């Protein structure tokens, strides 16, 4: 199995625990909890910042001195309603107590700047289409560059209809060369609907030094340390993914694979 494909550990409790050390990079961390009613997840950000995303279900959240009460709205992520999210700065303790079955994502990166504890959603998040035809997908921008809410983290959700492509035309963001490109590590947390489905993701460099194509199943995480990283949903199965990106700069600048850039140029007309 590819080292870029991370399978969940069990079905309850902390099922993903990806750190820069385990991923072999320097910035992005990703943890995921499956909680039953009454179960608790907690942690301290230490020298990191975090964005807590209630992927599914409801929980009460406290972050530092802020008590947000019960949060969460969608029982299934495929309802596509905006997620409930909270930003936690460095050196902050957070606690989540499930009030229903819930899935909680904890997205982390080095703490930078002086950003306060704050609620990031559902307010300010609107499902937005991107792309055309079989390349259309729908985006919930939780904390992308246009929202000045974090020092390092870029976080977004994407819904790809059955039979469509996403993160396509193939693009990369693996060089620290602003304004042409920024270096951003990235994780993809995948879900499929119906859950027994699979998707396909390829991670490759133009020189062929990295070229891996993976069948992703419900709950898998794909690591993107460098290179292009398109994915596709087979006919009959809808694909969701939660992206976490971080690097030296909180800016998303990328270049398309020259072999496939003609598609982006055509669709821009």
pLDDT, tens digit, 9 for 90 and up, residues 35-87: 999 999 999 999 999 999 999 999 999 999 999 999 999 999 999 999 999 99
pLDDT band at 1 (very low <50, low <70, confident <90, very high): confident
The model's pLDDT over 218-262, given as tens digits with 9 standing for 90+, comes to 999 999 999 999 999 999 999 999 999 999 999 999 999 999 999
Q: At 226, is the secondary structure helix, strand, or coil? A: coil
* The pTM of the whole model exceeds 0.95: yes
The pLDDT score that the predictor gives to residue 111 is: 98
The DSSP element (H or E) to which 240 belongs, if any, is: strand 238-246
The residue-averaged pLDDT of 130-148 equals 96
Cis omega before residue 194 (within 30°)? Answer: yes
The model's pLDDT over 180-225, given as tens digits with 9 standing for 90+, comes to 999 999 999 999 999 999 999 999 999 999 999 999 999 999 999 9
pLDDT band at 268 (very low <50, low <70, confident <90, very high): confident
Under DSSP, the state recorded for 81 is P
The CA-atom distances, in angstroms, between 143 and each of 82, 126, 207, 244 are 12, 12, 32, 10
d(CA 192, CA 162): 10
Superfamily the domain 5-262 falls into: Jelly Rolls (2.60.120.10)
pLDDT band at 269 (very low <50, low <70, confident <90, very high): confident
The DSSP element (H or E) to which 80 belongs, if any, is: none
Q: Which two tokens stand for residue 28?
A: 């992005």
């Amino acid at each position: 199995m590819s080292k870029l494909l991370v399978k969940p550990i069990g079905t309850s409790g902390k099922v993903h625990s990806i750190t820069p050390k385990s991923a072999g990079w320097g910035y992005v961390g990703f943890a995921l909890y499956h909680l039953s009613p009454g179960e608790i997840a907690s942690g301290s950000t230490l020298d990191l910042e975090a964005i807590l995303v209630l992927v599914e279900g409801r929980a009460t959240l406290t972050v530092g001195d802020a008590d947000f009460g019960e949060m969460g709205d969608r029982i299934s992520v495929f309802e596509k309603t905006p997620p409930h999210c909270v930003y936690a700065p460095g050196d902050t303790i957070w606690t989540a107590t499930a009030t229903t079955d819930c899935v909680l994502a904890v997205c982390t990166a080095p703490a930078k700047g002086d950003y306060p504890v704050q609620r990031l959603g559902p307010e300010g998040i609107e499902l937005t289409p991107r792309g055309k035809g079989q390349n259309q997908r729908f985006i919930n921008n939780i904390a992308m560059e246009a929202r000045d809410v974090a020092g390092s983290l870029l976080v977004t959700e994407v819904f790809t209809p059955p039979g469509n492509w996403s993160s396509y035309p193939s693009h990369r963001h693996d060089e620290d060369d602003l304004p042409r490109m920024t270096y951003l590590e990235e994780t993809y947390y995948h879900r499929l609907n119906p859950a027994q489905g699979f998707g396909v993701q390829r991670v490759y460099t133009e020189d062929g030094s990295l070229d891996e194509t993976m069948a992703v199943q419900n709950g898998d995480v794909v690591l993107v340390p460098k290179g292009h990283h398109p994915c596709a949903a087979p006919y009959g199965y809808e694909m969701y993914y939660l992206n976490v990106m971080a690097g030296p700069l909180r800016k998303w600048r990328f270049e398309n694979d020259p072999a496939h850039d003609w598609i982006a140029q055509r669709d821009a007309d």
